[in-house]
Amino acid sequence: MKLWDDEDGGRWKRSVIDIEGEVLCVSQFTLLAKTKKGTKPDFHGAANPEEASRLYHYFVQKVKDLYIEDRVKDGKFQAMMEVALVNDGPVTLELQAGAPVSER
């Protein structure tokens, strides 16, 4: 995805590959919490820990395979982590992936 400006300030022109940036993969099961009823989040839509771990590590390995391995970092799955970041801009993107084109 092209999420960074180019040298002339053109919006959405460069990818992480173009800028030679780093990628941080952090597992975040809490993103699947449902909060429609009650005061407690519902995580029933999340995968079981074994399947989630397998999928997470598969994802991280794919990112490493498709980019530069030493520029891809990840946290420890199911660990308490404190992650600090600087949000550069007012944009938050929600990415949804479907089946690869060859499987559709």
Q: Is 30 a catalytic residue?
A: yes
**Catalytic residue from among 30, 35, 39, 92:** 30
DSSP letter for each residue of 39-97: SS-B-TTSPPHHHHHHHHHHHHHHHHHHS-GGGEEE--TT----------SS-------
The two tokens of residue 94 are 């929600």
CA-CA distance, 102 to 60, in Å (whole number)? 22
Residue 16: which H helix or E strand, with range?
helix 16-19
Is the distance from CB of 53 to CB of 40 less than 8 angstroms?
Answer: no
Instruction: Name the residues annotated as catalytic.
Output: 30
